[in-house]
Amino acid sequence: MKKSILIIAIALSLASCNKDEPCNCGTITADGIDGSCYWLEIRNECSDNKKKFCFDYDVWFDGNPGESFCVSNQPEW
Protein backbone atom coordinates (compact mmCIF):
# COMPACT_ATOMS: atom_id res chain seq x y z
CA MET A 1 0.00 0.00 0.00
CA LYS A 2 2.79 2.42 0.91
CA LYS A 3 4.52 1.76 -2.41
CA SER A 4 1.27 2.41 -4.29
CA ILE A 5 0.79 5.77 -2.57
CA LEU A 6 4.40 6.72 -3.22
CA ILE A 7 4.18 5.71 -6.89
CA ILE A 8 0.97 7.70 -7.33
CA ALA A 9 2.49 10.73 -5.60
CA ILE A 10 5.59 10.58 -7.80
CA ALA A 11 3.54 10.16 -10.97
CA LEU A 12 1.32 13.09 -10.05
CA SER A 13 4.31 15.26 -9.19
CA LEU A 14 5.61 14.80 -12.73
CA ALA A 15 2.40 16.23 -14.19
CA SER A 16 2.70 19.78 -15.43
CA CYS A 17 0.41 22.72 -14.81
CA ASN A 18 -2.33 22.88 -17.43
CA LYS A 19 -4.86 25.72 -17.74
CA ASP A 20 -7.61 23.21 -18.63
CA GLU A 21 -7.13 21.17 -15.46
CA PRO A 22 -6.95 22.16 -11.80
CA CYS A 23 -3.43 22.96 -10.65
CA ASN A 24 -2.87 20.91 -7.49
CA CYS A 25 0.90 20.45 -7.57
CA GLY A 26 3.73 22.38 -6.03
CA THR A 27 6.83 22.28 -3.88
CA ILE A 28 6.88 21.23 -0.23
CA THR A 29 8.13 24.25 1.74
CA ALA A 30 7.78 22.96 5.32
CA ASP A 31 6.51 20.03 7.36
CA GLY A 32 5.49 19.38 10.92
CA ILE A 33 3.19 17.73 13.42
CA ASP A 34 0.28 19.49 15.09
CA GLY A 35 -1.50 17.11 17.46
CA SER A 36 -2.67 14.24 15.25
CA CYS A 37 -2.08 16.18 12.00
CA TYR A 38 1.07 15.34 10.08
CA TRP A 39 1.17 18.38 7.80
CA LEU A 40 3.02 19.43 4.70
CA GLU A 41 3.02 23.05 3.57
CA ILE A 42 2.98 23.19 -0.23
CA ARG A 43 3.57 26.18 -2.53
CA ASN A 44 1.29 25.88 -5.57
CA GLU A 45 3.29 25.96 -8.81
CA CYS A 46 0.58 27.92 -10.66
CA SER A 47 -0.68 30.45 -8.10
CA ASP A 48 2.44 30.59 -5.85
CA ASN A 49 0.09 30.36 -2.81
CA LYS A 50 1.10 28.21 0.17
CA LYS A 51 -1.27 25.92 2.08
CA LYS A 52 -0.91 23.28 4.81
CA PHE A 53 -2.44 19.84 4.29
CA CYS A 54 -2.79 16.97 6.79
CA PHE A 55 -1.66 13.51 5.67
CA ASP A 56 -1.18 10.11 7.24
CA TYR A 57 2.21 9.35 8.74
CA ASP A 58 3.56 7.42 5.73
CA VAL A 59 2.83 10.18 3.20
CA TRP A 60 4.17 12.83 5.59
CA PHE A 61 7.33 10.83 6.30
CA ASP A 62 8.10 10.41 2.58
CA GLY A 63 7.44 14.09 1.72
CA ASN A 64 10.49 16.29 2.22
CA PRO A 65 10.87 20.07 1.86
CA GLY A 66 12.08 20.98 -1.61
CA GLU A 67 10.37 18.05 -3.31
CA SER A 68 7.48 18.28 -5.76
CA PHE A 69 4.12 17.07 -4.48
CA CYS A 70 0.56 16.88 -5.81
CA VAL A 71 -2.61 16.92 -3.72
CA SER A 72 -5.16 15.26 -5.98
CA ASN A 73 -8.24 15.42 -3.74
CA GLN A 74 -8.15 19.20 -3.16
CA PRO A 75 -9.25 22.13 -5.29
CA GLU A 76 -6.70 24.68 -6.45
CA TRP A 77 -5.35 26.94 -3.76
* Distance, CA of 47 to CA of 34 (rounded, Å): 26
pLDDT in tens, 4-19: 555 555 555 555 444 5
Residue 77 confidence (pLDDT): 81
* pTM tops 0.85, yes or no: no
Q: What is the pLDDT of residue 73?
A: 83
Task: Give the pLDDT score at 17.
Answer: 47
Tell me the per-residue pLDDT of 43-66, one tens digit each, with 9 for 90 and over.
999 999 999 999 999 999 999 999
pLDDT at 62: 96
Sign of CA dihedral 11, 15, 20, 24: positive
